[in-house]
């Protein structure tokens, strides 16, 4: 039998909702472009020009993603109560809250929250850290591969041969570069690419898990989780745990 709705609560403020959907859209586009880069040969994309174009489009979408993420990180310090890092990142007393929450699920009487439940807090923390790793490694590779901001001009200056203007150095073109310095930069950028790609696989897994858990929680516990990210309001059938804490 369905439980009766007790009350509707304001959960997510507007900046948090805007962040969520801009992040959702840009991450999907970045994954799509990233997979195109990975499988370009299978798709018959072989020219250097096309390769650079794919990377450039990925980087331009990446800037929107990074800016949105940076605003959200800042908002986590000044924004609405349920969007704040201190209420999301696990801290003092977290293990106790998590085990009480898991216990309530086992007992068939899941505790309800206006903000994230303790498992959701862990998920958001891991997702945010992964997104930050993608942002940092992506920005470094945007600099080393196509000399785009914020690090591109520094990397170009690093590999420019004596007397060459770094602004004239082109992606995937050795003209004007110092062979030794270019080799050193190539060794430096390798690990950033490796972390970028493996974190993107992890993120793809997290996204699927996130969607599965949100839909499952919505069906089992109610609360209108999906529509709450659009309207900002959650409808709960019990007194929430995190209203006065
Ligand atoms: C959630 C966000 C992101 C996802 C899921 C993602 C995904 C990917 C994937 C799958 C690749 C292919 C790797 C390869 O070809 O080896 C890639 C490469 C790349 N990404 Fe991202 N990316 C993200 C964010 C960013 C950002 C923010 C930037 C920069 C502004 C960026 C810049 C690059 C660059 C320059 C490459 C080429 C590196 C290489 O060839 O190894 N990415 N990304």
CB 109 within 8 A of CB 158: no
Q: Kindly state the average pLDDT of the residues 5-31.
A: 95
Q: What is the pLDDT, as a whole number, of residue 1?
A: 41
CA distances from 175 to 144, 169, 171, 182, 186 (A): 15, 7, 10, 11, 16
Instruction: Using pLDDT thresholds of 50, 70 and 90, give the confidence band for residue 3.
Output: low
Instruction: Supply the DSSP string of 104-167, one letter for each residue.
Output: HHHTT-----SS--HHHHHHHHHHHHHHHHHHHHHHHHHHHHH--TTTHHHHHHHHBPTT--GG
Percent of the chain whose pLDDT exceeds 70: 96
d(CA 78, CA 85) in angstroms, rounded, equals: 10
Q: 238: helix, coil or strand? A: coil
Q: How far is the CA of 190 from the centre of ligand 1 (A)?
A: 13
What confidence tens digit (pLDDT) does each residue in 111-158 have? 999 999 999 999 999 999 999 999 999 999 999 999 999 999 999 999
Q: What is the pLDDT, as a whole number, of residue 220?
A: 79
Instruction: Using pLDDT thresholds of 50, 70 and 90, give the confidence band for residue 243.
Output: confident
Q: Kindly state the average pLDDT of the residues 211-215.
A: 91
Q: How far is the CA of 226 from the centre of ligand 1 (A)?
A: 28
Q: Kindly state the average pLDDT of the residues 202-231.
A: 89
Q: How far is the CA of 138 from the centre of ligand 1 (A)?
A: 5
Mean pLDDT of the chain: 94
Residue environment code for 159-188, b if the CB has 16+ CB neighbours within 10 A, otherwise e: bbbeebebeebebeeeebbbeeebeebeee
Q: How far is the CA of 142 from the centre of ligand 1 (A)?
A: 8
Burial of 224 (0-12, 13-18, 19+ CB in 10 A): middle
Q: Which atom of ligand 1 is nearest to the CA of 200?
A: 5
Q: Which atom of ligand 1 is nearest to the CA of 197?
A: 13
What confidence tens digit (pLDDT) does each residue in 94-105 have? 999 999 999 999
Percent of the chain whose pLDDT exceeds 90: 87
Q: How far is the CA of 94 from the centre of ligand 1 (A)?
A: 34
Q: 222: helix, coil or strand? A: coil
Q: Which domains does the chain have, with CATH numbers?
A: 7-236 (1.20.950.20)
d(CA 143, CA 153) in angstroms, rounded, equals: 7
What confidence tens digit (pLDDT) does each residue in 31-64 have? 999 999 999 999 999 999 999 999 999 999 999 9
Q: Which atom of ligand 1 is nearest to the CA of 27?
A: 1
From 28, 48, 58, mutation site for ligand 1 pocket: most ligand atoms within 8 A of C-beta: 58
Kindly list the protein residues whose Cβ atom lies closer than 6 A to any atom of ligand 1: 27, 30-31, 34-35, 37-38, 55, 58-59, 62-63, 65-66, 131, 134-135, 138-139, 141-142, 145, 193, 196-197, 200, 203
């Amino acid at each position: 039998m369905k439980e009766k709705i007790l009350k509707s609560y304001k959960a997510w403020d507007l900046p948090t909702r805007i962040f969520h959907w801009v992040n959702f859209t840009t991450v999907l586009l970045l994954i799509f472009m990233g997979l195109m880069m990975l499988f370009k040969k299978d798709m018959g994309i072989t020219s250097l020009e096309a390769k650079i174009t794919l990377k450039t489009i990925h980087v331009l979408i990446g800037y929107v993603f990074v800016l949105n993420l940076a605003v959200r990180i800042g908002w986590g310090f000044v924004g609405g109560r349920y969007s704040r890092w201190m209420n999301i990142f696990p801290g003092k007393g977290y293990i106790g809250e998590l085990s009480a929450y898991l216990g309530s699920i086992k007992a068939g009487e899941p505790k309800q929250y206006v903000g994230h439940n303790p498992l959701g807090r862990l998920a958001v923390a891991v997702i945010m850290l992964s997104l930050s790793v993608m942002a940092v490694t992506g920005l470094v590779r945007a600099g080393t591969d196509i000399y785009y901001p914020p690090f591109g001009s520094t990397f170009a200056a690093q590999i420019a041969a004596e007397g060459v203007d770094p602004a004239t150095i082109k992606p995937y073109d050795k003209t004007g570069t110092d062979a030794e310095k270019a080799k050193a930069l190539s060794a430096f950028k390798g690990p950033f690419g490796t972390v970028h790609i493996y974190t993107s696989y992890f993120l793809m897994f997290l996204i699927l898990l996130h969607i599965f858990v949100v839909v499952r929680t919505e069906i089992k516990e109610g609360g209108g989780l999906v529509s709450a990210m659009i309207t900002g309001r959650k409808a709960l059938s019990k007194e929430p745990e995190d209203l006065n804490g």
